[in-house]
Amino acid sequence: MSTGKSLAWTAPTVAAAAAIGSVATKETKSRWYRSLDKPPFQPPAPVFPIAWTGFYASIAGSAAVVDAELAEDHTEEARGRRRRFRVAMLINLILNAGWCWAFFRWRKLPESTAVAGALALSTADLARRAAAAKPGAGAALLPYVAWTTFATVLTGSIWRRNPRK
């Protein structure tokens, strides 16, 4: 299978997760969000859409490369690795969109911190799985790993600064 054929699966899947998450992030204009005490290390608002565009592109591209690589090997073991990689990617995208809903829409700071932590672990696992199939694809996901780890720290800090919200 070519990377292009795999991209025909990964790109719309990633785009769907991005769209579902973005519905909730419209709440960044809410009075609740503006009233939160945010830590000084929170990036400026324009950084987020720029960063996420790059992360989503790297997820779709890396996943397509890995999917195509694993599809070329017709052994049962490779088919299993491919299935597990796809499931890991889907779980990651569900957590990704889920954080947006937990934080912005439902305003659940403790829960969104937990989702962020799960997302960071899931992202590290996705990068590990990608690197096992194609080291470059795993390396391309490392900024996403770093960002989701940072997002966990940021979300936890917001929760600590706003215990009553």
Q: What are 16-73's pLDDT values in tens digits?
A: 999 999 999 986 788 999 999 999 999 999 999 999 999 999 999 999 999 999 999 9
Average pLDDT over the chain reads 96
pTM of the model: 0.95
Task: Assess whether pLDDT exceeds 70 at residue 9.
Answer: yes
> What CA–CA distances, in Å, run from 15 to 24, 48, 74, 93, 111?
15, 16, 29, 10, 24
Q: What are 85-141's pLDDT values in tens digits?
A: 999 999 999 999 999 999 999 999 999 999 999 999 999 999 999 999 999 999 999
Note the Cα 56 to chain centre separation in Å.
8
Q: Which domains does the chain have, with CATH numbers?
A: 3-161 (1.20.1260.100)
